[in-house]
Each structure stands twice: as structure tokens, then as C-alpha cells.
């Protein structure tokens, strides 16, 4: 039994799972929208949101004072540790061409995504389930994407059930 055991195993051992989260999060930060399976997207969401929270804290702490720069550097190093040894991978455009030599995933996280979500209290990603199944194993697919600045999540509310007229007290069936 898995009582009080949080998280999904995804058929991988812990080091392979961490490598999967790091690779998917780098792809999501680079492209801001990726297609993957539903369980992977649901497992990736907390990992990426914690990275963005570190970037947001770094953006808030960096107010120009020496203490603020030290705090910002601390959050930057925590994000580097989370992203792993490949935190310096480049950022590519839609045609898979390197945008700039010094533009990395970590720099985009700190310089672009941190300030973008500075005022947002959480919930930086959106998961949209796709109707099509993956070829090969027919896995359910989903798109996980980062929200744009000022964008809010929209939840579809179920329509309210129609109210029935009250039953009269004397009738029985």
C-alpha cells in the first residue's frame, strides 16, 4: 500500500525520474509550451512551479542593495541546483536555432520568467488535455504551457442542475 506516499513513479527509478523532470522543465522554459503525456505533465507542474517561484523570489530580492543581491544570488544557486548540471543549455527558437550564445535556460528563468510572475501568487502553468492519443501506446496526451503576463486561468464551470419542483406531501407511487 502507498499510504502517504506522494508523487508518481512513472515507471522509473528516482534518478531517472529526476532527469526526466529536469529535461522536461528545460524544454518548457525554452519553448514555454510542450506536449507530453498527462501523468508526466501533472508530475512536472510542481517541479517547474518551484523553479519559477525561486526565480520570482530572486527578482523580488534584487532591489539593488548588497543584501538583496546576495539573496538573489542564493535563489539563483538554488535554481541551478534544481536544474542540474545542464542548467547552461542554450535557448532555441521555433526553428531550433540558438537565439544567442550567452542566452541560457537559467538566464531566461531568472531574467524573463521571474519578473513576469512577480505579482502572481502561484499557478504559473496550465495543463490542457488533448483529444488525440499518442501513437504506439495510445497514451493520453496533454499540453503544459506557461501563462502569459497578466493572464488568468479560466476554469470551466459545470452547468447547474435544474431545480425540480417540490413533491407534494400526500402522493405516493
Listed in sequence order, the DSSP H helices in 5-146 are 14-31, 38-61, 66-83, 105-108, 114-116
Span 104-134, pLDDT tens digits:
888 899 999 999 999 999 999 999 999 999 9
Q: Where are the domains of the chain?
A: 14-146
Third-level CATH fold of 14-146: 50s Ribosomal Protein L17; Chain: A, (3.90.1030)
The upper half-sphere exposure of residue 109, i.e. CA atoms within 13 Å in the direction of its Cβ, equals 31
CB proximity list for 91: less than 8 A, separation 6 or greater: 29, 30, 98, 99, 100, 103, 104, 105, 107, 108
Mean pLDDT within 80-105: 78
Gap between the Cα atoms of 126 and 96, Å rounded: 24
Residue 86 scores a pLDDT above 60: yes
Amino acid at each position: 500500500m502507498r499510504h502517504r506516499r506522494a508523487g508518481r513513479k512513472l515507471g522509473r527509478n528516482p534518478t531517472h525520474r529526476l532527469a526526466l523532470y529536469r529535461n522536461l522543465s528545460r524544454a518548457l522554459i525554452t519553448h514555454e509550451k510542450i506536449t507530453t503525456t498527462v501523468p508526466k505533465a501533472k508530475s512536472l507542474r510542481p517541479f517547474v512551479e518551484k523553479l519559477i517561484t525561486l526565480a520570482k523570489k530572486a527578482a523580488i530580492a534584487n532591489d539593488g542593495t548588497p543584501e538583496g543581491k546576495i539573496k538573489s544570488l542564493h535563489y539563483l544557486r538554488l535554481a541551478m541546483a534544481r536544474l542540474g548540471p545542464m542548467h547552461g543549455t542554450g535557448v532555441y527558437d521555433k526553428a531550433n536555432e540558438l537565439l544567442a550564445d550567452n542566452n541560457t535556460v537559467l538566464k531566461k528563468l531568472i531574467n524573463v520568467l521571474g519578473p513576469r510572475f512577480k505579482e502572481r501568487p502561484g499557478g504559473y502553468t496550465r495543463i490542457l488535455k488533448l483529444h488525440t492519443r499518442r501513437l504506439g501506446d495510445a497514451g493520453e496526451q496533454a499540453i503544459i504551457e506557461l501563462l502569459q503576463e497578466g493572464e488568468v486561468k479560466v476554469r470551466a464551470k459545470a452547468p447547474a442542475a435544474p431545480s425540480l419542483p417540490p413533491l407534494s406531501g400526500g402522493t405516493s407511487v
